[in-house]
Amino acid sequence: MCEDYRRTQSNEVALEQMVLRDIRDLLQSMGKDIKSYGLPVLVDIYGDSDVEYKEVTEERQVKVDQEHLDIFSRLNTEQLAGFNDIMDHVTNQKSQIFFVDGPGGTGKTYLYKALLAKVRSMGLIAIATATSGIVASIMPGGRTAHSRFKIPIKLTHNSMCSFTKQSGTAELLKQASLLIWDEVAMTKRQAVETLDRSLQDIMECALPFGGKVVVFGGDFRQVLPVVTRGTRAQITDATLLRSYLWEKICKIRLTRNMRAQTDPWFSEYLLRIGNGMEKTIGDDYVCLPEDIVITYTEDEKQVNKLIEDVFPSLHTNATSREYMSTRAILSTKNEHVDDLNDKMISRFPGEEKVYNSFDSIEHDFQNNYTIDFLNSITPNGLPPHVLKVKINCPVILLRNLDPHNGLCNGTRL
Ligand SMILES: Nc1ncnc2c1ncn2[C@@H]1O[C@H](COP(=O)(O)OP(=O)(O)OP(=O)(O)O)[C@@H](O)[C@H]1O
């Protein structure tokens, strides 16, 4: 960064300020504050107020795609009813919370895109958020809910979002006509309740979310909030379903699977599993139909068959974007993912580049953890000690590097 600026700026002090400004912008896009990192002081020539209202300017600059405006004419009956109801509340500034309830593939994201485009095309502010960075990046101007609303990591029954009433975030929220939060089923209800309290505070209005039109979406058949070592009852208790807000929410139900339209049997089968209606063995296991199963054997043969079925003729197709972006092997455990990655990368054509991580332990004066041991473990969210890559092989980010430009945890490149 510094070297880039050095070409046009020789004054060291000015150079340092330019780099600091860039770092501040990057951190701000991830909802963080440069002041927390002990860096040299940034002398802001524009003054603090300009910086704070950057959130509003940025939001107003989100482009409205014609393609997203055109979605309106393609909405199915259920989506259209939801769209009209929400837009009625937005245009008439009537306070309401909605929950778009639909199993995977019923067009929830499709509906949000239509709403965002419509509200923004009217010159109003619509805020798009999701619980995970990857889903947030699918919506134009999308950000994770935690970063956009500055929700604290540690939540209690009376916690508040960490923005002040005078901040740019507060100003943005005050001006917003519509707030969307997707994948809310994965979020602890305390996070949603924190936003409710904070909005009531900044709007000085005792209505839910300070009188805003808020659209939640998600699917309780999919992933639920993570409660470390939590029991089933504790996990259920952490969901929005158990919040005081739930009964105040207007539900919009989507039932028509738009993704699997060509395979109605599969979409109905998925729905039966999600609704707990498919026969189970023991408590949790469902019986998969034989034609979608590769029988397990101890040797490597079946894993190789799985790879060949999903990635046929890999050598000839490895450089095809269409081929690589339309297939994936999912696994429930990281150790299986590492194993599959190893096999896939050795099959992938091209020269292999190997990168090793540098691991060390702080304050381990007795040398309890040897380097070999550190190298042998792959903690959640970190790549393995030996990372092998090849030109054109897909990679998935494990960090939110630049969410504003779509580089989030989970982005596939
Ligand atoms: N009315 C529609 N007309 C045509 N295509 C649609 C319609 N609604 C949704 N789709 C398409 O169906 C697919 C699934 O939609 P979408 O991703 O919005 O579903 P979702 O409910 O958000 O799914 P998930 O819960 O898995 O994220 C997408 O490819 C989308 O473009």
Which value does ipTM take for this structure?
0.98
Residue 88 backbone class (left: φ over 0; alpha: ψ -120 to 50; beta: rest): alpha
- What was the pLDDT predicted at 188? 93
Q: Which atom of ligand 1 is nearest to the CA of 102?
A: 21
Element (H, E) at 281: strand 280-281
Please tell me whether residue 189 adopts helix, strand or coil conformation.
helix
Distance CA 310, CA 344 (A): 11
HSE-CB for 163 with a 13 A CA cutoff: 29
What is the best residue among 259, 263, 271 to mutate for testing ligand 1's pocket, by most ligand atoms within 8 Å of CB? 259
Dist. CA 384–CA 26, nearest whole Å: 27
Q: Strands 96-101, 213-218: parallel, antiparallel or unpaired by DSSP?
A: parallel
Residue 55 to residues 8, 29, 80, 364, Cα–Cα distance (Å) = 28, 9, 31, 43
Task: Measure 85 CA to ligand 1 centroid, in angstroms.
Answer: 19
Which secondary structure element, helix H or strand E, spans residue 290, and what is its range? none
Q: Are 357 and 375 in contact (CB under 8 A)?
A: yes
pLDDT at 47: 47
Task: Give nearest CA residue, ligand 1 atom 1.
Answer: 75
Strands 176-182 and 213-218: parallel
For 91-137, how does the pLDDT look when each residue is reduced to its tens digit (9 = 90+)? 999 999 999 998 888 999 999 999 999 999 999 999 999 998 888 88
Query: CB of 128 within 8 A of CB of 142?
Result: yes
The predicted structure's pLDDT at residue 37: 86
> CA-based angle 213:214:220, to the nearest 5?
150
Model pTM score? 0.78
In short, whether 82's Cβ falls inside 6 Å of ligand 1 is no
Measured in degrees and rounded to the nearest 5, phi and psi for residue 67 equal -55, -40
**pLDDT at residue 50 in the model:** 47
> Is 175's C-beta closer than 6 angstroms to any atom of ligand 1?
no
- Backbone φ and ψ for 78, nearest 5 degrees, come out as -65, -45
CA of 107 to the centre of ligand 1 (A): 3
- What are the residue ranges in the chain where pLDDT is below 70? 1-2, 9, 29-31, 44-52
Structure tokens belonging to residue 377 = 């473990």
What is the position in ligand 1's atom list of the atom closest to the CA of 76? 1
What are the backbone dihedrals phi and psi of residue 390, each rounded to the nearest 5 degrees, phi first?
-135, 155
Q: How remote is the C-alpha of 40 from its chain's centroid? A: 32
Nearest ligand 1 atom to alpha carbon 79:
1
Measure Cα distances from 354 to 230, 324, 372, 375, 387 in Å: 39, 22, 18, 14, 6
